[in-house]
Amino acid sequence: MKRYTSLSQIRKEISEGALTVPSLVNGYLEAIASQKHLNAMLEVFEEEAIARAKEVQEKIQNGTAGKLAGMVISIKDNICYKHHKVSASSKILEGFESIYSSTVVERLLAEDAIIIGRTNCDEFAMGASNENSAFGPVKNALDTNRVSGGSSGGAAVSVQSGMCLAALGSDTGGSIRQPASFCGVVGFKPTYGRVSRWGLIAYASSFDIIGPLTQSIEDTQLLMEVIGGPDENDATASVKPLEPFVVNQSSGKKRIAYFKETIEAEGIEPDVKQSALNLIAKLKEMGHEVEPVSFPYLDLMIPVYYTLTTAEASSNLGRFAGMHYGYRSKNARDLETTVRKSRSEGFGTEVKRRIMLGTFVLSSGYYDAYYSKAQKVRRVVTDFTKELFNQYDFILSPTSPNVAFEFGAKAENPIAMYLADIFTVHANIFGGPAVSIPYGADSAGLPIGMQFTANTFEDSNLLAFVKTL
């Protein structure tokens, strides 16, 4: 099938009679079937997608179609969809079917999107390479010896390899942006609270957000307009009315800061650095003001992020106890063995590591030294960042210090893996929006991503700006 990179292309062909929604869905189903080796999809909603394609085609013909008619989209395996399985790529949710739909799924369906399947990810969204899935790693379609990035690896590859037009992922510390950068697609993490978390399996509730992975900024804008906004089911969803995304046009000279430390960072790959320098030169040529700024807290990003997210995860994951739903150990005999054995057998190594770390930083005696300290640093970083946004519109950095790495390169070393998030966790720590756009490639042709971050609730302005690049 021909490769489409935006919904407007698809809609144009449909209106000209050159394409129908059923043939489009068939094309995507074929792409999924012929690329099973990538392991991007855990389940394909084939029959349903075919049935919905017919309905949507009729709606288009009758003039009653929603904004997303013709959009074929995948959802990450931590986003609930009523009467569909959801597992967070964990054995502990084996056999579990969702009894309600997340707000984002309801909003997609209300606008006639077609959900084609659920995508593989790191277990409970914990990881940066998709090597932590109970269902095996996801391969990067550009080089199958390399990782997809994570944790929304299946989401990124589903878009990269043409299995669907767009995907929804989740981002707690970079899980949308980093795989987007490794796979050469656009990944957007909205402001915390701009998209409802109702029906998203929680990892770290004060960091988690759902967002789109696409092949064009215009599709990201469109999806934000559909999935964003207040939601009475989620008290942490902002009550601020959603700003218009699609019509927003960026104009005028912008002030852009880049953190010296991110571009001069030790360990940044030379091709990534070069791409950042090229982008800075281009921005200046376009008439924008671009200035280096010192970011004194870079070394604190990873410790703060991992202290707070593991603490929240240790609490959130307490509900998976082999009692109410999901996996129960065959060796369970009584209350204690049910909980202990179900959790020991059901969770993978990385999830267990984080539950233990989180329990430790919250334990009496260590609470003040770790958890409270990290909360204070989060506040200091937030204040510093907000202050910076009084002077600048956006902050630029590479999305990741490196391109997609080979399988196993960091899997044995959790610290090396955690450092993969060094540039992305900042946005989750202070809560603002950040987007990764493909910008250049290394000498082997592997995609490089550049990240722009903006102040909270500047989502629409941020996307309108990157659209001009």
Catalytic residue numbers, as ranges: 76, 151, 175
d(CA 378, CA 69): 41
- Per the DSSP assignment, residues forming a β-bridge with 344 are none
Find the part of the chain contacting ligand GLN (CB under 6 A) among 3-11, 17-25, 120-128, 135-143: 120-128
Q: Single out the residue of 117, 154, 162, 174 in contact with ligand GLN (rule: CB under 6 A).
A: 174
d(CA 135, CA 251): 46
Site for ligand GLN contains 451 (CB under 6 A): no
d(CA 39, CA 437): 24
Least distance from C-beta 202 to ligand GLN, angstroms? 11
Least distance from C-beta 434 to ligand GLN, angstroms? 11
Considering only residues 202 to 221 of the shown chain, the ones binding ligand GLN according to CB under 6 A are 203
- Integer angstrom CA distances of residue 293 from 255, 256, 260, 297, 378: 12, 10, 6, 12, 19
Q: Single out the residue of 153, 154, 173, 184 in contact with ligand GLN (rule: CB under 6 A).
A: 173
Find the part of the chain contacting ligand GLN (CB under 6 A) among 2-10, 103-111, 165-173, 389-397: 165-173
- Give the strand pairing for 447-454 and 394-398: antiparallel
Site for ligand GLN contains 125 (CB under 6 A): yes
Q: Single out the residue of 29, 38, 128, 454 in contact with ligand GLN (rule: CB under 6 A).
A: 128
Q: Single out the residue of 103, 120, 175, 220 in contact with ligand GLN (rule: CB under 6 A).
A: 175
Pseudo-torsion of CA 264, 266, 272, 275, nearest 10°? 10
The DSSP result for 92-157, as a single string, is: GGTT-B-SS--HHHHHHHHTT-EEEEEE--SGGG--SSSTT-TT-PPEETTEEEEE--SSSHHHHH
Q: Single out the residue of 105, 126, 222, 377 in contact with ligand GLN (rule: CB under 6 A).
A: 126
Site for ligand GLN contains 151 (CB under 6 A): yes
Q: Please, how many CA atoms are within 13 Å of residue 429, restricted to the half-sphere of its CB?
A: 30
Site for ligand GLN contains 167 (CB under 6 A): no
> Given the complex with ligand GLN, which of 146 and 288 has the nearer CB atom?
146
Which residue's beta carbon is nearest to the bound ligand GLN?
175
Q: Single out the residue of 77, 171, 219, 225 in contact with ligand GLN (rule: CB under 6 A).
A: 171
Under 8 Å between Cβ of 81 and 40: no
Question: Could you tell me which of 205, 84, 82, 88 has the C-alpha nearest to residue 152?
Answer: 88
Q: What is the DSSP letter of 63?
A: T
> Given the complex with ligand GLN, which of 25 and 159 has the nearer CB atom?
159
Site for ligand GLN contains 399 (CB under 6 A): no
What are 207's two structure tokens? Answer: 């960091």
Pattern of binders to ligand GLN over 303-332, x per CB under 6 A?
A: ------x-----------------------
**What is the distance of C-alpha 300 from the center of its chain?**
22
- Integer angstrom CA distances of residue 179 from 140, 188, 214: 9, 11, 12
Q: Single out the residue of 27, 66, 70, 127 in contact with ligand GLN (rule: CB under 6 A).
A: 127
Size of the residue set binding ligand GLN (CB under 6 A)? 13
> Given the complex with ligand GLN, which of 7 and 317 has the nearer CB atom?
317
Burial group, residue 164, by CB count within 10 angstroms (0-12, 13-18, 19+): buried
Least distance from C-beta 63 to ligand GLN, angstroms? 40
Site for ligand GLN contains 172 (CB under 6 A): yes
Pattern of binders to ligand GLN over 410-429, x per CB under 6 A?
A: -----------x--------
The DSSP result for 280-330, as a single string, is: HHHHHHTT-EEEEE--TTHHHHHHHHHHHHHHHHHHHGGG-SSSSSS---T
Q: Which residues bind ligand GLN (CB under 6 A)?
A: 125-128, 151, 171-175, 203, 309, 421
